[in-house]
Amino acid sequence: MKNYDYIIIGSGIAGLYDALLFKDHGSVLIITKGSIDECNTKHAQGGIAAAISSIDSPELHFKDTIAAGAGLCDPEAVRILTEEAADRIADLVKLGVPFDTVNGEIALTKEAAHSVPRILHAGGDATGERIEVTLSNAARASRAITIFEYFLATEILVKNNKVYGVAALDLRSGTREEFNCRNLILATGGVGRLFKITTNPDIATGDGVALAYRTGAEIIDMEFFQFHPTALRMPGVPLFLISEAVRGEGGVLRNVRGERFMKKYSPQGELAPRDVVARGIVAEMKETGANRVFLDVTHLPARILSARFPQIYRFCLDHGLDITTSLIPVVPAAHYSMGGVKTNYWGETNVEGLFASGEVASTGVHGANRLASNSLLEVLVFGKRIVERTLRGNAHLKATPSPDVYTLKKRDTSDINDTTLNVTALQSLLWDNVGIVRSGKELEEAADTLAAWEKQLEPATDRPSYELANMVTVGRLMAEAALIREESRGAHYRSDFPNASNAWLKHIVFRKKAAKSQK
């Protein structure tokens, strides 16, 4: 068994940024299940939020973040996020990320629910790609960082309640390997592939949440999942995100009758929070009997569109759609997980030696809904804190367990008729029953079906079977959490409980071995 000071699972911004910080303090291994750049990060378009302009301040960024989180942000985590933002942006600049500039100053754009322009971007709408390329080149160039591509992490190794390593499947040879470490950092990204319609690439199957849950880590806020309002929908064309920044720059939404409709749903119109816009679109599609709405940017200057959104402009043009003259057909799509592995302000989970960073983690900054472009920032701010924490050499690197947690209850699955389990069936179930608009009946049905599927799972042997098992576990956590929360708040909307309730100003935390059973 090989030994490392730090093992990081995942090679998106979270994994790479921490690897580059750790490399001066010990040996680092990155395990990643695809090629190094297969990740959500590469697809990020809009940018990174940070209060760096003269008309902005961490306090204003704090207020906007808290407002988007609908009562469930952890104010201290948000304070850390917004106050440490500028320093972390400076780190990225030092690492060579080429942010766009205007007259020598970093260019900033506005996105929904931000009070001022504060989104840094690179290559126009290629922010994630520029970050991924810059960081992966730096990681590859470092002799202190070993990178194993096509290695799937399958189990977190624990002894005496302390993490000592990870088991992984070498996807090329099919052999199982074990690696030892002092600190294990989960940087496995999101869970978007649980849904039929998603902006997330293939890797986003929730592996980190499932691995951590099985290890006894606490999983929090799984009912809060963000649906992005605008993904390109054209027959035969892969789903493609149309960034929020397009609406920020003046894009408007129209129904299939050509009418603008967002003011019906929010005084903020197209720049309302994502959940409001997504539900507005769903309602409008229902009312007009259409399977899409349109994003209209034809009134904006063509040269600005092609310069500011080169990826979107080019992608659409390559598929026969000139956005400067034609409407863009769009639908909402599964996008971002606010919930995940619960961490404290130092990225520590309740399991000693186990840290979580990036989309897999839930640090408390997003609450019930993420403010656009806060996720890349969260990775940097809390990723840096993980490094600082491990360097302190404290023997007890773990968060205090939550006092009040749920366990998954046993479900009677004898009545479930359709028990065909495959990825497509799971994605349809989650989209239909745990999607943008939920109800108790549909959530019960989903939870029962997922519980029946859990019983059917054969021991996993390859990447698809491991991922399927992980998706069933994560899907169940989402459905159960959404069922427990009998109210609507942020990204979680229940048609049977359409209002927010003060009684629910609290979090739902699951732990495998818990003190209290689910009601």
Ligand X SMILES: Cc1cc2nc3c(=O)[nH]c(=O)nc-3n(C[C@H](O)[C@H](O)[C@H](O)COP(=O)(O)OP(=O)(O)OC[C@H]3O[C@@H](n4cnc5c(N)ncnc54)[C@H](O)[C@@H]3O)c2cc1C
- Positions that interact with ligand X (CB under 6 A): 9-15, 31-34, 38-41, 43-48, 127-128, 152-153, 187-190, 199-200, 203, 207, 241, 336, 358-360, 373, 375-376, 379
CB 91 within 8 A of CB 384: yes
DSSP string, 317-378: HHTT--TTTSPEEEEEEEEEES-EEE--TTSB-SSBTEEE-GGGEE-SSSTTSPPTTHHHHH
Rounded distance between C-alpha atoms, residue 330 and residue 292, angstroms: 6
Q: Is 73 exposed, middle or buried (0-12, 13-18, 19+ CB in 10 A)?
A: buried
Question: Cβ closer to ligand X: 33 or 507?
Answer: 33
- The CA-CA-CA angle for residues 407, 426, 242, to 5°, reads 105
Which residues, listed in sequence order, are joined to residue 328 by a DSSP beta bridge? 295
Minimum distance of ligand X from residue 180's CB (angstroms) = 17
Three-class SS state of 183:
strand
Question: Cβ closer to ligand X: 13 or 341?
Answer: 13
Rounded distance between C-alpha atoms, residue 256 and residue 291, angstroms: 9
- Give residues with Cβ within 8 angstroms of 274, minimum separation 6: 112, 226, 227, 228, 229, 244, 335, 369, 370, 372, 491
Rounded distance between C-alpha atoms, residue 5 and residue 25, angstroms: 8
Question: Cβ closer to ligand X: 108 or 451?
Answer: 108
Question: Cβ closer to ligand X: 443 or 468?
Answer: 468
Question: Cβ closer to ligand X: 124 or 504?
Answer: 124
Three-class SS state of 101:
strand
**In 116-170, which residue ranges form alpha helices assigned H by DSSP?**
127-141
Minimum distance of ligand X from residue 4's CB (angstroms) = 15
Question: Cβ closer to ligand X: 56 or 442?
Answer: 56
Q: Considering all CA atoms of the chain, what is the largest pairwise distance in Å, rounded to the nearest integer? A: 67
Q: Does the active-site annotation cover 274? A: yes
Structure tokens at 494: 């229940």
CB 120 within 8 A of CB 105: no
Which among 88, 193, 247, 274 is annotated as catalytic?
274
Minimum distance of ligand X from residue 275's CB (angstroms) = 16
CB 47 within 8 A of CB 64: no
CB 46 within 8 A of CB 119: yes
Question: Cβ closer to ligand X: 189 or 280?
Answer: 189
Rounded distance between C-alpha atoms, residue 105 and residue 129, angstroms: 21
Residue nearest to ligand X (CB): 12
Minimum distance of ligand X from residue 190's CB (angstroms) = 6
Question: Cβ closer to ligand X: 41 or 488?
Answer: 41
Minimum distance of ligand X from residue 372's CB (angstroms) = 7
Residues tagged active-site:
274
